[in-house]
Amino acid sequence: MGENENMASLSLDQHRAAVEALLAPLSLVRVTESISLSAARIAGAPDVYRHRVLAEDIASPTDLPPFDNSQMDGYAVRSAELAGATPDAAVRLRVDPQINAGDSISELEPGTAAPIMTGAPLPTGADAVVPIERAIPDHFRSTGDAEDSAALTVDFTAVPHSDEFVRRRGSDVARGELLLTAGSALGPAQLGVIAATGLTKIDVLRRIRVLLVATGHEIREPGTPLRPGQIYDSNSAVLSQALIECGCTVVAWPCRSDDAADLLHIIEKGAPTADLVITVGGVSAGAREVVRDALGPLGVEFSHVAMQPGGPQGLGLVEAPGHPDGIPVVTFPGNPVSALVSFEIFVRPILRRLAGFARTERETLRLPLAVAVESPAGKHQVRRASIDPDGRVRLVGGPSSHLLHSYAASTALVHLPVGLGHADAGDPVDVWRIDD
């Protein structure tokens, strides 16, 4: 799990391209699943809708809006009947019964204007709405008035054009037109327009399912007793959350042993319901490296990437139940900082693209260093940092890959590329924001 170096070396870009090639087929084999859609379910089971992507184009099953309706509170009129209306020569119409949102579609009698509320159906015969504030009087009179509503009149001092303040049936989307395209991420507006059509079931892409295997004879489940020399498994929590935030589902199945047979058992049992295996630890130059021992003979290739942390990396296709062409396996080093940096650089952008995120890469800023820094010139070093109020980037903790506490206090990653051995305070560096 360490940063030892006596193996073939790759550049960061070379390994990233290799992971990309390994995972590319995941976009081709995506299974569709139906989810039912209701506001109660969105509110009550929000995880069902988190980071979802439409599997297929949806054609609208209905016109939206489904009927001509009023854009304003006002009067539905025949615009031709107001021809010639001016402030000096108002046109007077009798007031029809009021049309409320939710009423069925009525008929506008000639010579009348119907009080109409926003969203209420335009009566047959009407072709325009005059907003209440442009009518005389400029307020609605209750039918409970002493006056008989049939005797009410309203004056208009301008001619509306036809369709004015009318939302025509199908003007947002017509029945049969494309409502949403395959690949659309489902946010508020997308879920809303589906609801507006009345659809209650949609086909979405099944999430990428990851079998996450933290390894090591020394790791124990938090909350259980530790003997000296043992540590709590933090990688399962770190990477479960990181994967969830990429729209994946995760089975976290640690291998608390250095026995290759135990790891192979986990992969055999977990592979049928997984699309991807990520292992953590057991890939370094040590004498007992469970991932290397178990998966090297099955075709996983291990190499050293010229980066720090996260040097020891591996990948390959492993024959497994349910995967006739092999299941993709990506292996990370075991220090939690190394594992999370590896995930950030090699896997996160790919999984987010597969999940349909618009933003697959971290926001990158170019910021001056608050303090000078040394970096191994032969490696791409990634440091944890925060951003000062004045916009300088300040390293948090040292380069060592066990400093997860420092990582947790950071809001940024600083990239010190190959060839950079020293940078002064004030020198600009590439910074990824990781605080969203």
CB nearer a second copy, residue 18 or residue 309: 309
Beta-bridge mates of residue 429: 367
CB nearer a second copy, residue 20 or residue 172: 172
Residue pair 63/170 in contact by the 8 Å Cβ criterion = yes
State how far the Cα of 64 lies from the Cα of 175, in Å rounded to an integer: 8
Give me the least distance between CB of 350 and a second copy, in Å please.
17
CB nearer a second copy, residue 407 or residue 416: 407
Give me the least distance between CB of 393 and a second copy, in Å please.
15
CB nearer a second copy, residue 2 or residue 326: 2
State how far the Cα of 242 lies from the Cα of 278, in Å rounded to an integer: 12
The single-letter code of the amino acid at 211 is: L
Structure tokens at 181: 């395209």
CB nearer a second copy, residue 27 or residue 181: 181
Give me the least distance between CB of 256 and a second copy, in Å please.
8
Query: Which residue is associated with the tokens 């309203």?
Result: 154
CB nearer a second copy, residue 222 or residue 321: 222
Give me the least distance between CB of 94 and a second copy, in Å please.
17
State how far the Cα of 149 lies from the Cα of 160, in Å rounded to an integer: 24
Give me the least distance between CB of 183 and a second copy, in Å please.
13
Measure Cα distances from 395 to 44, 139, 422 in Å.
41, 65, 14
Structure tokens at 82: 């107001």
Residue pair 359/352 in contact by the 8 Å Cβ criterion = yes
CB nearer a second copy, residue 326 or residue 376: 376
Residue pair 56/201 in contact by the 8 Å Cβ criterion = no
State how far the Cα of 99 lies from the Cα of 264, in Å rounded to an integer: 71
Give me the least distance between CB of 347 and a second copy, in Å please.
12
Give me the least distance between CB of 190 and a second copy, in Å please.
5
Choose among 10, 102, 22: nearest CA to 317. 22
CB nearer a second copy, residue 109 or residue 218: 218
Choose among 282, 285, 296: nearest CA to 254. 282
Query: Which residue is associated with the tokens 């029809």?
Result: 96
Measure Cα distances from 289 to 172, 212, 368 in Å.
60, 17, 40
Give me the least distance between CB of 9 and a second copy, in Å please.
12
State how far the Cα of 237 lies from the Cα of 243, in Å rounded to an integer: 10
Give me the least distance between CB of 29 and a second copy, in Å please.
22
Quickly list DSSP for 323-338: EEEEEEEEEE-SSHHH
Q: Is 276 exposed, middle or buried (0-12, 13-18, 19+ CB in 10 A)?
A: buried
CB nearer a second copy, residue 28 or residue 224: 224
Structure tokens at 106: 């009525």
State how far the Cα of 121 lies from the Cα of 106, in Å rounded to an integer: 8
Query: Which residue is associated with the tokens 């099953």?
Result: 61
CB nearer a second copy, residue 115 or residue 316: 115
Structure tokens at 278: 């990520």
Give me the least distance between CB of 167 and a second copy, in Å please.
5
